[in-house]
């Protein structure tokens, strides 16, 4: 677990040092008592005392008195399980209590915590031994361990020492705090600054912070004197992984200012965007003695920029939508809704400058008038819905035959007008014939589901250069040629031959 407070760190270190010294003193000098050793010594004394009394009574051959004495000892001492006198050859001379169950022969002549054996001598030789079997320890092992003198002393030193050392060090650090020697007017001057300010020592530890820095984050107030700035939990994730790349470390190592470093930190309410500038603090000899770091909170500026970008995107989207609406309105204003061709107003608006340019530059301008044959009969026989489909399919075939610069208009109910620039006589004839053939072939295929329907068109053509001086005259002469096709049998192409001559029929 990471201990962030220097006060806690030093307190723990001093307590650990004290406990270690106490344990070493006990190791070398035995200053602390051991409960097991003391108990073993006491039990040996009891065994030896009883052995002396037993030997004296045995020597006087007062066995009955010895039996009563041992029984009395067993009754009064709850720690003793049994007592016995055993000869050297192993024969039991006397016992009190269930000695055979309590005594473990594996112990031999050695005394243990629960078995004390005292040798008995007769003359110069060993006669036997006096045996005392004690009860083993009872109760919880952890509780017994915690009640050991050494453990109690260590726990006492750890608890009381932590409190005592902590209070003492806290007061000492208050006197040694570098911030305490900074005049209040200097601290006040830093606190009036709108940007966060931190003064660091050569190890990156905080010496001074101002009010603006402590307001950067809910946990920024924990950046007290002595805390390593890079270790602050709210700041560390946004810093480079290499401590040498931290801006204050770079400033002190390079002895040059580091500016414009952007840090994004997490906060409870919203993320904050900071710009960090660091300048080294040098002594008169040029050696780095610390660093001055400033933190500019650019969060509001970033938020304003983001809102501005959103507004511009919405405006751009609105402009694009308006442009689409304008295009749609323009199409509705200039196009026939059924066929998709230019309406008459838009057709004449575009034809007038084209006709004028044709007159000025001298290139030919061809007008082709197309009329659907017997269209009234189509509506009367098959209905207006079929009539609309016929108009749409005829317009599609005319548009397919036209070029990119041509103007196509739905001139009337079933009548279309196509104006094409830069076509010669043969090209004009070929265009008109292509339109007629495409309608006769492809429109009837597209409308094969309508029984007994046959769609054809009559076509009239006139090219400027054969006498048409105005737009109206160009269209009128093409219209005259169209009526020539209708009079001569329909489903054919007629070209206007001249004011006094009859129209040519192709």
When pLDDT is cut at 50, 70 and 90, the band that residue 181 belongs to is very low
Q: 23 and 98 share a domain?
A: no
Q: 78 pLDDT band (50/70/90 cuts)?
A: confident
Same domain membership, residue 188 and residue 76: no
What are the φ and ψ backbone dihedral angles of 364, each rounded to 5 degrees?
Answer: -70, 155
pLDDT of residue 351: 93
Q: Would you state the pLDDT for residue 218?
A: 80
Indicate whether 367 and 456 sit together in one domain.
Answer: yes
- Supply the pTM of this predicted model: 0.44
In a domain, 79, yes or no: yes
> Do the domain assignments include residue 287?
yes
Task: Tell me what pLDDT residue 268 has.
Answer: 64
Identify the helix (H) or strand (E) that includes residue 485. Answer: helix 471-487
> Is 431 found in the same domain as 285?
no
> Catalytic: 414?
yes
Q: Which of 349, 414, 427, 433 is catalytic?
A: 414
Return the DSSP state at 375.
H
Q: How far apart are CA 442 and CA 438, in angstroms?
A: 5
Q: What CATH number is attached to the domain comprising 247?
A: 3.30.450.20
Would the pLDDT of 428 be above 80? yes
User: Which band of pLDDT confidence, cut at 50, 70 and 90, is reported for residue 2?
Assistant: very low
One domain for residues 108 and 212: no
**Run of H or E residues at 22:** helix 6-29
* Domain shared by 162 and 187, yes or no: no
Count of domains observed in the chain: 4
Question: Do 271 and 401 fall into the same domain?
Answer: no
pLDDT at 110: 75
Q: Which helix (H) or strand (E) holds 279?
A: strand 272-282
**CB-based contact 445:353 (threshold 8 Å):** no
25 and 44 assigned to the same domain: no
Residue that terminates a domain, selected from 245, 268, 297: 297
Identify whether residues 62 and 170 lie together within a single domain: no
Per-residue pLDDT averaged across 294-318, rounded?
A: 84
For residue 52, give the nearest of 106, 132, 109, 110 by alpha carbon: 132
Q: Is 141 within the bounds of a domain?
A: no
Note whether 484 and 381 are same-domain residues: yes
CA distance readout (Å), 153 to 26, 34, 149: 11, 12, 6
Domain range holding 48? 35-134
The answer on 236 and 163 residing in a single domain is no
What's the average model confidence in pLDDT over 16-40? 76
Percent of the chain with pLDDT over 70: 89
In this structure, the answer to whether residues 478 and 365 fall within a common structural domain is yes
H-helix or E-strand containing 310? helix 299-334
Q: 249 with 243: CB under 8 angstroms?
A: yes
């Amino acid at each position: 677990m990471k201990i962030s407070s220097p006060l806690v760190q030093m307190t723990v270190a001093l307590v650990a040092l004290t406990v270690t010294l106490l344990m070493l003193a006990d190791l070398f000098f035995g200053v602390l008592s051991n409960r097991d050793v003391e108990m073993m010594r006491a039990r040996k004394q009891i065994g030896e005392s009883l052995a002396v009394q037993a030997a004296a009574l045995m020597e006087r051959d007062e066995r009955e008195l010895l039996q009563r004495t041992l029984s009395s000892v067993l009754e009064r001492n709850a720690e003793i399980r049994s007592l016995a006198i055993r000869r050297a050859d192993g024969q039991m001379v006397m016992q009190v209590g269930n000695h055979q169950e309590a005594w473990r022969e594996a112990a031999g002549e050695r005394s243990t915590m629960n078995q004390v054996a005292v040798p008995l001598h007769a003359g110069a030789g060993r006669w036997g031994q006096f045996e005392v079997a004690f009860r083993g320890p009872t109760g919880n092992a952890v509780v017994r361990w915690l009640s050991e003198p050494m453990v109690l002393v260590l726990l006492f030193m750890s608890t009381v020492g932590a409190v005592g050392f902590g209070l003492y060090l806290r007061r000492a650090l208050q006197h040694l705090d570098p911030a305490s020697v900074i005049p209040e007017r200097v601290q006040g001057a830093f606190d009036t600054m709108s940007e966060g300010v931190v003064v660091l020592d050569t190890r990156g530890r905080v010496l001074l912070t101002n009010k603006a820095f402590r307001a950067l984050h809910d946990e920024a107030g924990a950046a007290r004197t002595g805390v390593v700035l890079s270790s602050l939990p709210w700041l560390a994730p946004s810093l480079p992984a290499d401590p040498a790349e931290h801006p204050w470390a770079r400033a002190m190592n390079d002895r040059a200012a580091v500016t414009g470093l952007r840090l994004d930190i997490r906060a409870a309410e919203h993320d904050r965007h900071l710009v960090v500038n660091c300048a080294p603090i040098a002594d008169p000899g040029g050696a780095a003695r610390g660093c001055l770091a400033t933190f500019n909170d650019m969060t509001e500026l970033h938020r304003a920029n983001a809102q501005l970008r959103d507004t511009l995107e919405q405006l751009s989207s609105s402009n694009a939508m308006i442009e689409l609406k304008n295009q749609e309105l323009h199409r509705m204003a200039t196009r026939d809704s059924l066929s998709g061709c230019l309406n008459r107003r838009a057709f004449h608006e575009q034809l007038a400058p084209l006709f004028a340019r044709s007159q000025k530059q001298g290139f030919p301008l061809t007008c082709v008038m197309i009329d659907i044959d017997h269209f009234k009969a189509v509506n009367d026989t098959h209905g207006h819905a079929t009539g609309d489909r016929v108009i749409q399919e005829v317009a599609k075939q005319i548009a397919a035959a036209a070029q990119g610069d041509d103007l196509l208009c739905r001139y009337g109910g079933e009548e279309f007008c196509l104006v094409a620039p830069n076509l010669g006589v043969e090209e004009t004839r070929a265009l008109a014939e292509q339109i007629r053939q495409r309608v006769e072939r492809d429109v009837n295929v597209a409308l094969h589901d309508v029984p007994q329907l046959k769609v054809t068109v009559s076509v009239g053509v006139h090219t400027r250069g054969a006498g048409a001086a105005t737009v109206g005259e160009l269209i009128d002469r093409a219209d005259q040629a169209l009526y020539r096709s209708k009079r001569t049998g329909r489903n054919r192409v007629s070209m206007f031959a001249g004011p006094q001559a009859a129209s040519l029929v192709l």
